[in-house]
Amino acid sequence: MSSETTDPQLSETARVARDLIRIDTTNRGGGDAEPELPAAEYVATYLRDLGLEPQIFESLPGRASVVARVPGAEPGLPALVLHGHLDVVPADPAGWSVDPFAGVIAEGMLWGRGAVDMKDMDAMMLTAVAELLRSGERPRREVILAFFADEENGGVYGSHHLVEHHPELFSGAETAISEVGGYSIDVAGTRAYLIQTGEKALDWIRLRARGTAAHGSRVWHDNAVTRLAEAIAALGRHEWPVTLCDTTRDLIDHLAAILGEDPHEVAPDELVLRLGKGGGFIQASLRNTSNPTVLTAGYKHNVIPDTAEALVDVRSLPSEQGDVLAQVERIVGPDIEIETVHTDIGLEVPFAGELVDAMTESLRRADPDARVLPYLLSGGTDNKALSRLGIAGYGFVPLRLPADLDFPGMFHGVDERVPLDALDFGHRVLVDLLRTY
């Protein structure tokens, strides 16, 4: 790999993203995290230099979020929340080609944990606002900039904390833009940009089986490990049927039109998988899922334990959360205890309206060949928290990407990286959007 050690041609957006990557804000979950405060202070300093008045909020010592308001040229319009998160998931350096927190520039890309999720967007937000303010302009409407802590652990110490304890920070806002949408994928030679208009519901649950402890040499039928293993095997192998919501039905219609297919004659799974590298990422939006992720049982080779536990990640389509949890209970059976560790709602917003029109037009001004499609995110974002205040959230990180780049695979992946020209493209689109929406 050829590494570029100097950066005279590096854009401000790339430099800011690199600076943020170099601040380790790893969130290991369960309250175990590197503090976001150093990154929050970096963001706050940048905003103060623009003449803004950012506020830093700590839900716990070091777990910091930043909020600032940017006045709009038309004060009568509802505000737009433009938000990102400062934390990142862990990265094991042993598996990477580069130091994940060095912010390496190589092969025309910025490498590092957070390059995609989502310090790229954090940087684009900052530099888009900076370009307007430095030129004496304002965004068309008031913009509420928010940089949250703890998104990678459900937002408990970030967006949810601020929505619960400081809802006034978001007063006057009706719409929001954040992560996991807006980037391009190749659809049969067509560059399609996916705007995220929905998110699955989330339930992280703990399954617990109980038995009777005994010596490992016994013939023993009251075995908690066996009981749990049977339950999680049944749950993990359960075939959830394809079920379309408004967003995925709209997506399928758009894909069919691009591919020249009749959406009533081709299975939704088949159409989505024709997206190539992006297909597997979106396939999970067509059905509910239940994936066992962690097993815990026993303490010695020759002791049958009296309890065994498993963690399961359940993701439900926006209107099916209650039904899915009831089905989970039926699948694992009455002998398995179920405990909710963390839960959050599903979302769906219209692929229509002034904001969607503005995002579409901003993309097309930057890329006249753009086709714009809606999609449902199988994960979740801080838009879930803002929705409790009646704010409609969309995923829009506008990046024009090479057709052969497995961009969805970069999320939480090894060698996470983003093309430098994609960062600059996103900056231009956001500047245009803030001027026009």
Residue 111's SS3 state is strand
Quick one: CA torsion of 321, 324, 325, 326, rounded to 10 degrees?
A: 120
Question: What residue segments make up the domains of the chain, in order of their start?
Answer: 12-186+354-367+380-436, 198-344
Q: Whose CA is closest to 196, among 292, 282, 279?
A: 282
For domain 12-186+354-367+380-436, the CATH superfamily is Zn peptidases (3.40.630.10)
pLDDT of residue 7: 59
Q: Whose CA is closest to 109, among 200, 18, 42, 235?
A: 18
Residue 176's SS3 state is strand
Runs of H (alpha helix) within 338-419: 354-366, 383-387
Look at the domain 198-344 and name its fold: Alpha-Beta Plaits (3.30.70)
CB 85 within 8 A of CB 149: yes
Q: Whose CA is closest to 151, among 86, 57, 100?
A: 86
d(CA 166, CA 342): 22
Strand spans (E) along 107-181: 109-111, 143-148, 173-178
Strand spans (E) along 179-287: 184-187, 190-199, 201-210, 214-215
Residue 329: phi and psi, rounded to 5, are -60, -45
pLDDT of residue 408: 81
Provide the CA 364 distance to its chain's centre, in angstroms.
24
Helices 420-436 and 119-134 sit at what angle, rounded to 10 degrees?
50
CB 161 within 8 A of CB 67: no
d(CA 251, CA 281): 14
Q: Within a 13 Å sphere around the CA of 51, how many CA atoms are in the beta-carbon half?
A: 12
pLDDT of residue 6: 44
275-293: buried (b, 16+ CB within 10 Å) or exposed (e) per residue? beebbebbbbbbbbbbebe
Residue with tokens 């049944």: 234
Low-confidence ranges of the chain (pLDDT < 70): 1-8
Torsion sign, CA atoms 356, 272, 268, 199: negative
pLDDT of residue 2: 43
> What are the residues whose beta carbons fall under 8 Å from the beta carbon of 127, sequence distance 6 or more?
11, 12, 13, 16, 427
One-letter identity of residue 199:
E
pLDDT of residue 403: 87
d(CA 88, CA 84): 11
Q: How many CB atoms lie under 10 A from the CB of residue 220?
A: 14
Q: How far apart are the first and last CA of the chain?
A: 41
Judged on CB neighbours under 10 Å (0-12, 13-18, 19+), 384 is buried
Q: Do domains 12-186+354-367+380-436 and 198-344 have the same CATH topology?
A: no
